Structure 1
Amino acid sequence: MTDSPVSPTGGHVTETDDDTVPDRARTLFGLGAGNAMEWFDWTVYATFASFFAGQFFNNEDSVSALLSTLAVFAVGFAARPLGGFVFGWVADRKGRQVSMALCLALAAGGSLVIGLSPTYEQIGLGASALLLLARLGQGLAHGGELPAAQTYIAEVAPRKRRGLWSSLIYFSGTCGVLAGTLLGALLSGVLTQEQMYSYGWRVPFILGGVFGLYSLYVRLRMRETEVFLAENDEENSAEPKGRMWDTIKQHPKLLFQVIGMTVGATVLYYVWAISAPSYAISVHGIDPTSALWAGVGAQVLFLISLPLWGMLSDRIGRKPVLFIASGGLLVTSIPLDALLGDQAWQLFLAMSIALLLMGGFSSIAPAIYAEMFPTRIRAVGLGLPYAIAVAAFGGTAPYLQTLFADLGNPSLFLFYAMGLMVITILVLFTLPETRGIDLSSDDVGAHGRRKSAVGAHAGTR
């Protein structure tokens, strides 16, 4: 017997176990490079905002220009749910590979527009409009990238190693974040402040755009997943299963499960992986350079943990790993908050513990989300609720954390985050074990998912 699942049309879906090494390398590189580039763009905007704010808005009031620039950053966040819906629909109707290519083209184009745009002094409000449109496009692309990429990696991965393969999403994304942070540190050390304000800020956007176009070329050579092709063949057959919206209406519970699973994890991810160094600098008075390097060190440990958690989930199951990670984050929230002081080593230790636990959730989330939904709504069913949860809870987490600290009661945010994690843990109890499930099976997302657990054992035969 083989591990090749039987498609709904009766034909065999070729799994990645039978791929050649070059095929796997091209798939993993195309997926990872594009995802890293999008996270790179997301990071460098915030990192270099203070340098280019006066280039796109009236520089007579530098604070107002910076606030306007950050407002455009928020617009990009707000666009993510729409991007999740639009590109999720494209992924489920036209193909995962098509959706990922479109997202990458939009993100790379937006980066080049920002990097090559005329300034406010040259074209006035036109510069502000170009920045807004570019960031809006990148927000749409970022919202569509994750559901399409997560679905793609889950569908091409070998069933027995889907957890390991899914760790590529956050591994590559974190590499993009680290690259943006390190480039910022490098440029600010090599160029003078005047050079950074004049042209240095353009460098990361131009690099991101060029690398994005190369990644687009690689993605265009990637093949569509066999799971999607088998489903698409059936949709075009004499007896189709029904339209996408009919399928979505049959599974409303899954949409709420995605939101419930995401709210706790996304808040703690943005707190510890994204904003912890800046929070430590502004609230605890840690030296900025030391805080940034502490954050880089913790992110490296996070990277190392991701494939290890993925492999563990392939051996013991998804739910045990999720409960270990989520429960660990919940019970350590108060001690880790107390650990933060005015020393960089304290920040490094607290971030490292939090991110090592977060790795258990982040590494296998793409596999779990894909294993929840039927093929025909796998991307759009994930994309919209996931983007809503991230924008509403993850995107506001750094602001709320700083606000409560400024009001003199940081514990309010701590209990807010812990409450959301309790919601996530409660939702986990409603999920079945899906390790090794056949993603082309009708059992995915159906009938209380009793048969899915059986499929998990079949996937390891």
Structure 2
Amino acid sequence: MAESTLAAKPASRSRTLLGTGVGNALEWYDWGIYAVFAPFFAQQFFNAADPFSAILSTLAVFAVGFLARPIGAWLFGLLADRRGRRMAMTLSVGGAAVGSLAIGLSPTYAAVGAGASLILLTARLVQGLAHGGEMPSAQTYISEMAPARRRGLWASLMYFSGTLGTIAGTGVGAVLTTVLSEPQMNSWGWRIPFVLGGILGLYALVMRQRMSETEAFRTARTDPEPMWAAIVRHRRQALQVIGMTVGLTVSYYAWAVSAPQYAISARGVDPTGALWAGLLANVVFIAVLPLWGALADRIGRKPVMLISAGGMALAIFPLDGMIGSSPVRLFAAMSVAMVLIAASAAIAPAVYCEMFPTRIRTVGVGIPYAVAVATFGGTAPYLQTWVGQSFGAAWFTGYIAALLLVSAVIVTTLPETRGRRLD
């Protein structure tokens, strides 16, 4: 019924896509600008006497924010499965906006000492809770609203809109570093993107309040089995979610989010050039996402995901060597990586949702997904910097390749779910 209802009401379909996409984009914007602007504000929240320690501390807080994501997935997942997808999505985008405003308006370490570090940590924990709830709630919503035969294409909206948020954050960084001097960026320029994200979050909040609930949730059959018993019964699927996610999340955060920052701090790439390279590579990423989603609707989920994980594992060492110290080479390497990563990113939300029944779909996906992202994605920028400084970049590259191979093996254990109706 959901498919025919949306087909008959183009306005409802547009509201679904726009409300989900705008909110998801702002959530990713709020989350991603932290990594983009870390080199500029690290010494504002930690002791400026040791710049390298300050950047490591800032990236450690980035990782700590990820630790809140499994808790957020649990809280928002239960809310989405009991009270509705729309309510969980609305609260998640509000939490992300509050965290962003707190960082943008925070006093500095020079003004209040360790209090500034505590504000930063608290804000990232709030954003971690919100982001942990956003992805499973939104991807469940869009998958349940999508026509079964086009769910792969519709699911590509998640990373499409999310990457638009990342591009917006990187673009703001590129513009600010172009028009402001380095002292101005370090002093106050870094605050602009955080305050902007918080204000725009209010707009997304209103949009999501006006969205309709999914037909699958409204008509879900009553099941006498307790929710936690149902989750335990689907533990194999939960482990498969973790295995599928580890390679995607580390490669995504290393190449889509942190590559410009790492190129600046470890490869000596010009900051402005590196940020523009990252922005353009992400444009390539969003351009191919719908293509991969549509292909998966034609040939199946498993072939597309195997192309992604296997291809990236084979290409990652040559791509890492391609970067050098040039923004142009950074762009070329990032673009190739992003095309391969996009194959998994486009359809992962659909694959996750096709693995679980309606009454535990959000929490069943959200908790294992958040655990994988927190454990592997959250530590990626820190490990990339620390391992690169201590042992050399090849060790971290090998770590990513190994996780991609793990994901490829897990994909072979999945049933093909293309076109499956969601019960």
Assess same fold via TM > 0.5: yes
Q: Write the distance in 2 (CA, Å) between the matches of 1:196 and 1:382.
A: 39
- 1:52–1:259 CA distance, 2 compared to 1 (3 A): same
Percent identity among equivalent residues?
A: 57
Cα shift at 1:62:
6.0
> Is 1:302 matched with 2:285?
yes
Cα shift at 1:241:
3.6
Alignment of 1:296-335 (within 5 A): 296-335=279-318
Describe the SS at the equivalent of 1:372.
coil
Q: Write the distance in 1 (CA, Å) between the matches of 2:89 and 2:328.
A: 39
Please, which of 100, 124, 140 is the counterpart of residue 129 of structure 2? 140
> Is 1:291 matched with 2:274?
yes
Please, which of 325, 340, 343 is the counterpart of residue 323 of structure 2? 340
Q: Write the distance in 2 (CA, Å) between the matches of 1:424 and 1:66.
A: 31
Cα shift at 1:49:
3.5
Please, which of 17, 23, 29 is the counterpart of residue 34 of structure 1? 23
Q: Write the distance in 1 (CA, Å) between the matches of 2:41 and 2:319.
A: 35
- How many correspondences in the alignment? 423
Contact 1:14-1:226 within 8 A present in 2 as well = no
Please, which of 157, 164, 169 is the counterpart of residue 180 of structure 1? 169
Kindly provide the CA deviation profile for residues 287-333 of structure 1, in whole angstroms up to 9, marking residues without a partner as x: 33333322222111111000110111111111121122222112222
Q: Write the distance in 1 (CA, Å) between the matches of 2:369 and 2:252.
A: 14
TM-score by length of 2: 0.92
Kindly provide the CA deviation profile for residues 188-231 of structure 1, in whole angstroms up to 9, marking residues without a partner as x: 33334454444433321221111101100000011111101111
Q: Write the distance in 2 (CA, Å) between the matches of 1:379 and 1:30.
A: 18
Contact 2:81-2:363 within 8 A present in 1 as well = yes
**Corresponding position of 1:220:** 209
Contact 1:299-1:355 within 8 A present in 2 as well = yes
> Is 1:94 matched with 2:94?
no
Contact 1:16-1:157 within 8 A present in 2 as well = no
- 1:95–1:138 CA distance, 2 compared to 1 (3 A): same
Alignment of 1:395-414 (within 5 A): 395-414=378-397
Q: Write the distance in 2 (CA, Å) between the matches of 1:71 and 1:284.
A: 21
Most deviating of 281-290 and 93-102? 281-290
Cα shift at 1:183:
0.8
Q: Write the distance in 1 (CA, Å) between the matches of 2:53 and 2:324.
A: 32
Please, which of 226, 230, 242 is the counterpart of residue 247 of structure 1? 230
Most deviating of 341-350 and 191-200? 191-200
* Alignment root-mean-square deviation, CA: 2.3
Q: Write the distance in 2 (CA, Å) between the matches of 1:335 and 1:61.
A: 34
Alignment of 1:355-434 (within 5 A): 355-434=338-417
Q: Write the distance in 2 (CA, Å) between the matches of 1:196 and 1:280.
A: 18
With a CA cutoff of 8 Å and minimum separation of 6, indicate the structure with the bigger relative contact order: 2
- 1:355–1:16 CA distance, 2 compared to 1 (3 A): farther
**Corresponding position of 1:205:** 194
Alignment-mate amino acid for residue 153 of structure 1: I
Q: Write the distance in 2 (CA, Å) between the matches of 1:165 and 1:407.
A: 43
Describe the SS at the equivalent of 1:242.
coil
- 1:110–1:130 CA distance, 2 compared to 1 (3 A): same
Rg larger in 1 or in 2? 1
Q: Write the distance in 2 (CA, Å) between the matches of 1:419 and 1:50.
A: 29
TM-score by length of 1: 0.85
Contact 1:16-1:156 within 8 A present in 2 as well = no
Alignment of 1:13-32 (within 5 A): 13=2, 15=4, 17-32=6-21
**Corresponding position of 1:107:** 96
Q: Write the distance in 1 (CA, Å) between the matches of 2:266 and 2:111.
A: 38
Q: Write the distance in 2 (CA, Å) between the matches of 1:264 and 1:376.
A: 28
Q: Write the distance in 1 (CA, Å) between the matches of 2:119 and 2:327.
A: 39
Most deviating of 48-57 and 185-194? 48-57
- 1:148–1:61 CA distance, 2 compared to 1 (3 A): same
**Corresponding position of 2:34:** 45
Describe the SS at the equivalent of 1:223.
coil
Cα shift at 1:264:
1.4
- 1:176–1:258 CA distance, 2 compared to 1 (3 A): same
Q: Write the distance in 2 (CA, Å) between the matches of 1:290 and 1:193.
A: 14
Alignment-mate amino acid for residue 356 of structure 2: F
Kindly provide the CA deviation profile for residues 94-124 of structure 1, in whole angstroms up to 9, marking residues without a partner as x: 1111111111111112222223344556656
Contact 1:103-1:141 within 8 A present in 2 as well = yes
- 1:58–1:368 CA distance, 2 compared to 1 (3 A): same
Cα shift at 1:47:
2.9
Cα shift at 1:86:
1.3
**Corresponding position of 1:10:** none
Q: Unaligned regions of 5+ residues in structure 2, if any? A: none
Q: Write the distance in 2 (CA, Å) between the matches of 1:382 and 1:49.
A: 30
Q: Unaligned regions of 5+ residues in structure 1, if any? A: 5-12, 441-461
